[in-house]
A = this chain, B = another copy of it.
Amino acid sequence: MAEKITPRTEDFPQWYQDVVLQAKLADYSPVKGCMVIRPNGYSIWERIQQEMNRRIKDAGVRNAYFPMFIPESFLTKEAEHVEGFAPEVAVVTYAGGKDLEEKLVVRPTSETIINSMFAKWVQSYRDLPLLINQWANVVRWEMRTRLFLRTTEFLWQEGHTCHSTLEEAEEFTIRMLKMYHEFAENVLAMPVIPGRKSDSEKFAGALRTFTIEAMMQDGKALQAGTSHNLSDNFAKAFETKFLDKDGKQKHVYQTSWGVSTRLIGGMIMTHSDDKGLVLPPMLADTHVVIVPIVPKANLAPAVYEAADKLAAQIKENAAVLGLPYQVRVHVDKDETKQAGWKFHEYELIGIPVRIELGPRDIEKQQAVFTRRDKGVKEFIPLAELPSKIGAELAAMQKELLEKARAHREQNTHDVDSYDAFKSMLEEKGGFYRVPWGLDRDAEAAIKTETKATLRCFLLDESNEPVKTSKPCFKTGKKDGNVIAIFARAY
């Protein structure tokens, strides 16, 4: 029954698709560009939601829900916004048996519909800051789609806040950027570079956009989350105003920020291998699977009893070790499947730790321990196993991050000349830190010539682009340059 996973070195995109489909994380649907998130994939999304919700609520933000339909006229109120999103919206023109008087856009993002409510709710400085988040589905019509990474419909959270000053809005934009940075590294074990987008890559309607950029195993970049300072652009379009302490009516300053089911794709392409999914323990539904080895049917009761006892000890001990989650253990007593089939299956779906336990192991008071990311079998005394498992789960979470970070460092290059950039990019891909003159035309030319895009400007301690005295690597412009990262991206 087992299909073969294409090796990464042979065809990376095919490998990715093989892992997603064979580990039953997602599937293609009959609706063009839309995916089905299967239970193995959705459970990862539920863990992401849980962890992210905790952080969002700790920041004082409350969840709410707004309509998914947006009157077409709303979209046009902010000029840059409509230019950015109009080409990719899906439109309801007919409903309840009639043509609609005003067409309804299926939300590609909710700044406009939310501002129509904020304008009603915000009256006074006492109503500020207003901090709202929504978990929702959104639709952006895409020509070329890829499971999790780019789909017509996707799931996300979108935060929307109102503040009384531009400075406070900027501060909150950065706070959410930092929240995403910490989340990506501590939960997904996916190292990211926080930075600022260029004007041509920023959100349609934002003053400025911040991003976290991750490097996949093939050296390509993945934009993993964005945080926008919207200034008063939408507030002016929707007349979202408040009476300030000084008795004056003022427009609010706003932020919006989001991460999506794309994170699952990024996490897969960061850690997984040619045997299937490698899942950071923080995201696992089941952390440990115990596979009883039963050479003869009459030995089953004794082996099962030992396996159950071990499972109980693991759960107990791991609580003591202070992991940030309950350790979930599954004892697989399915007798219709061979042990070899089970090993393959649990590697494919990414269970972090596998324990094999047979009659001879029980005699010797040991079991076989295998960590999914290392794949090395070790014989461990039963008495040591519970504490080893707790320690190894914590280590695995940490080492996945470190390994990915090392990979990124090895594949990040400082270059000062465009020729060097072009030949190195062609030869080995990866990220390029370059002195950059902020020229929009040069940025477009690089994209056309190399398919690399400006991922972000690196940030200094005050969250401004890092300055450099070097000439721009593309135009040679001498002054006022910053450090930018260029890479090919998903």
Contacts and interface: CB of A to CB of B under 8 A. Distances in A.
Interface of A: 27, 29-31, 34-39, 42-43, 45-46, 62-71, 74, 87-97, 103-104, 106, 113, 116-117, 120-121, 126, 132, 136-137, 139, 141-143, 153, 155, 336
Given A71-B30, A95-B141, A137-B68, A90 B104 contact: yes
Contacts of A106: 92, 106
A87 B97 contact: yes
Contacts of A38: 64
A125 to B, nearest CB: 11
A35 B67 contact: yes
Q: Which of A34, A87, A91 has the most CB of B within 10 A?
A: A91
Contacts of A34: 67, 69
Nearest to A93: B93
A319 B196 CA distance: 46
Given A64-B36, A116-B30, A132-B39, A91 B90 contact: no
A67 B31 contact: yes
A39 B67 contact: no
B93 A91 contact: yes
Contacts of A126: 336
Contact of A65 (B37, B87, B94): B37
A284 B30 CA distance: 41
A113 B29 contact: yes
Given A35-B67, A90-B96, 15 more contacts: A27-B120, A29-B113, A31-B69, A31-B104, A34-B69, A36-B117, A39-B63, A43-B63, A46-B63, A68-B153, A69-B90, A87-B96, A91-B94, A94-B103, A97-B141
A85 to B, nearest CB: 11
A460 B137 CA distance: 42
Contacts of A64: 36-39, 42
A375 B336 CA distance: 61
Nearest to A27: B117
Contacts of A31: 67, 69-71, 104, 113
B65 A155 contact: yes
B104 A36 contact: no
B104 A66 contact: no
List of 8 A-B pairs having minimum Cβ-Cβ separation, nearest first = A96-B141, A39-B62, A34-B67, A90-B95, A37-B65, A91-B94, A31-B67, A93-B93
6 contacts: A29-B116, A31-B67, A39-B64, A39-B132, A65-B155, A96-B142
Contacts of A42: 62-65
A63 B38 CA distance: 8
A386 to B, nearest CB: 26
A229 B45 CA distance: 30
A274 to B, nearest CB: 25
A45 B96 CA distance: 27
A120 B137 CA distance: 24
A434 B259 CA distance: 55
A310 to B, nearest CB: 24
A106 B104 CA distance: 12
A147 to B, nearest CB: 13
